[in-house]
Structure 1
Amino acid sequence: MYLDTTSKLIEAEIFSVMPDSFRRIGMRTDWADANRPGEATDCFIEGPSFDADGNLYIVDIPFGRIFRIASDKTWSLVVEYESWPNGLKIDKDGCIPVADYMHGIMQLDVKAGCMRPVLTPRNSESFRGCNDLHIADNGDIYFTDQGQTGLHDPTGRVYRLASGRLDCLIDTGISPNGLVLDRAEATLFVAMTRDNAVWRLPFMKDGSVSKVGRFCSTFGTSGPDGLTMDKAGRLFVAHASLGHVFVFAPNGELIARIKSCAGPACTNVAIGGNNGYHLYMTESSTGTVMVADISDESLRKA
């Protein structure tokens, strides 16, 4: 896929920016040294997800922080701990599991202001580096174990945690990252960042996957990152180096692109607002949350 200038272009606008009081200016971290060498990193936000009251939760990976952004755009620190929280989702009951790069799958206890382990080792073996997760309607948690995998080491894993049972769906992933189920929960889409593609994983009757293929391919120095899907089955793909979120129809056609107004590192996405007609996007390197109109009228192809 090239940067198709015939697809509908939607401009994003700034929703909120991390206040200076929360930025860790001049502080180095092991995470930034490994993943953003030579770049000043006073924050790196990811994992947007809304609670039932309309508060937006995000993670700040290198400094082990989780923030809540209220509807009036006020930021508050929910928890800070020794780790690298990478992805976050809020389920229909208000539980907040977190894909933690350092520890595995954790859960945020908002009232207590602390993190609790859900799944840290697997058969006494640590994960390579959990990245993101998705929660099915029945509560099953799908998550990616990315680590530093890539074309040189295609051993990233995609898991399903169901009623205490852990199933490995893929163990040949090329940097598995964001993921989302389709509306029927019959197919899982997974961003494979360093393959610069989104893979399509259809489920068989026994819950395994088969006939895995590339749903779409992109380009650039990074690749697809966070994913979400709207009620119409349109797939939104945040690209971590092209400064866009790409919108694909259920058949794989590129129908729109949403352009960042803050920077190129569009890492993750969440749908919110009245009737689910707004897309919220994290631009990680600047600590900016952007928003764009994704109503049917806005997405109608030019």
Structure 2
Amino acid sequence: MQDGTVWAVEMAGSRACVTSVDLDGKVETRIKVGGRPNGMTVDGDGRIWVAEAREGVVLCFDPDGRLAKRITHPTDRFLWPNDLRFGPDGHLYLTDSGILDTVFITGLDINPDYATLPYRGCSYEIDPIKGQVVRQFDENIKFTNGIAFGPDNFLYVNETLGGSVFRYDIFGSKTPQREVFGNVNKLGDSPVWRGPDGMAFGTDGNLYCTVYGQGDVTILNPAGEVVGRLPTNGPKPTNIAFASEGRRAFVTEVSASRIEVLETPCEGLPLFKPRLAI
């Protein structure tokens, strides 16, 4: 946030909330969401938009915590709303991991059969004012996860199972095709769930992607090549947000339930934060 506080979602059933941490490390519960809040973003009016995985909805809260809008799937339900970002057009873009959280995970324990589960991952464009899905991008991705807009205004989405980051020319085509941009996994098989999670662009044009199970933030240059890895203290980083000022990033790390601060080579590319009359 602009005041220097860091806001994060907590997925644990005993918490299920949006939490803030101030510059002195004070922790405060801001919004009681319920369910399983997974990803979060903020608009230009300070409203908090949350991807809630347990009920399969997107929720919008006023800064004081009042529920302002509830967005549902037009025909059924979102399977696992994971992460979300606003685009340069003012619309909201959401990844859906493509599987119910109750099938994939119990508490913090991942289903040992994760490699063979039937994933139907995809991404959605949502009109946040009307609260309606505009279109769907792609299908059958094996656990769609992190999402970001690049300086080229292409939409970047990753697939955790396999480690790929995809790129879509969503403003150049009504039905954009998947393009493999890069891969963040180190070479070799992994005995644990491993792959890209949350990600954000820096002002250097590089993509900074947390890699769950690998314990780092992997850096991809504009050509999609790995040009660096920033190690995290814990092995399970889940998301990244650049500080509003300075060369720092805040990374959520789930194994220790903490927020780590990483020094970065650059500042973060500012997020789109549209003013919305909802």
TM-score (norm 2): 0.80
SS in structure 1 at match of 2:147: strand
Q: Displacement, 1:80?
A: 2.2
In structure 2, what is the equivalent of residue 171 of structure 1? 139
* Letter in structure 2 aligned against 1:174: K
Relative contact order higher in (CA < 8 Å, ≥ 6 apart):
1
CA distance in 2, matches of 1:285, 1:117: 32
Q: Displacement, 1:248?
A: 1.1
* Letter in structure 2 aligned against 1:195: G
* Letter in structure 2 aligned against 1:157: C
Please, what is the CA RMSD of the aligned residues?
2.1
Is the Cα contact below 8 Å between 1:204 and 1:210 reproduced in 2?
Answer: no
In structure 1, what is the equivalent of residue 79 of structure 2? 128
Cα distance 1:151–1:254, how it changes in 2: closer, same or farther (>3 A)? same
Q: Displacement, 1:211?
A: 4.6
In structure 2, what is the equivalent of residue 209 of structure 1? 176
In structure 2, what is the equivalent of residue 283 of structure 1? 253
2:27 to 67, 72, 75: 75
CA distance in 1, matches of 2:31, 2:43: 19
Cα offsets for 1:3-59 (capped at 9, x unmatched): xxxxxxxxxxxxxxxxxxxxxxxxxxxxxxxxxxxxxxxxxxxxxxxx222221101
Q: Once the two structures are aligned, what percentage of the paired residues are identical?
A: 23
In structure 1, what is the equivalent of residue 42 of structure 2? 90
SS in structure 2 at match of 1:210: coil
- Segments of structure 1 that go 5 or more residues without pairing to the other structure are 1-50, 298-302
* Letter in structure 2 aligned against 1:145: D
CA distance in 2, matches of 1:151, 1:189: 23
Q: Displacement, 1:156?
A: 0.9
The answer to whether 1:267 aligns with 2:238 is yes
Is the Cα contact below 8 Å between 2:10 and 2:37 reproduced in 1?
Answer: yes
Q: Displacement, 1:126?
A: 1.2
Q: Displacement, 1:106?
A: 0.4
Q: Displacement, 1:217?
A: 4.5
CA distance in 1, matches of 2:155, 2:205: 12
The answer to whether 1:184 aligns with 2:137 is no
In structure 1, what is the equivalent of residue 58 of structure 2? 105
CA distance in 1, matches of 2:140, 2:207: 23
SS in structure 1 at match of 2:12: helix
Cα offsets for 1:167-221 (capped at 9, x unmatched): 1012221100010011131x11112111222112223534431252242241533
Is the Cα contact below 8 Å between 2:184 and 2:218 reproduced in 1?
Answer: no
2:10 to 54, 60, 63: 60
Q: Displacement, 1:118?
A: 2.8
TM-score (norm 1): 0.74
CA distance in 2, matches of 1:106, 1:238: 24
Cα distance 1:192–1:254, how it changes in 2: closer, same or farther (>3 A)? same
What is the aligned residue count?
Answer: 242
CA distance in 1, matches of 2:21, 2:92: 24
The answer to whether 1:294 aligns with 2:259 is no
CA distance in 2, matches of 1:235, 1:80: 32
In structure 1, what is the equivalent of residue 124 of structure 2? 159
SS in structure 2 at match of 1:195: coil
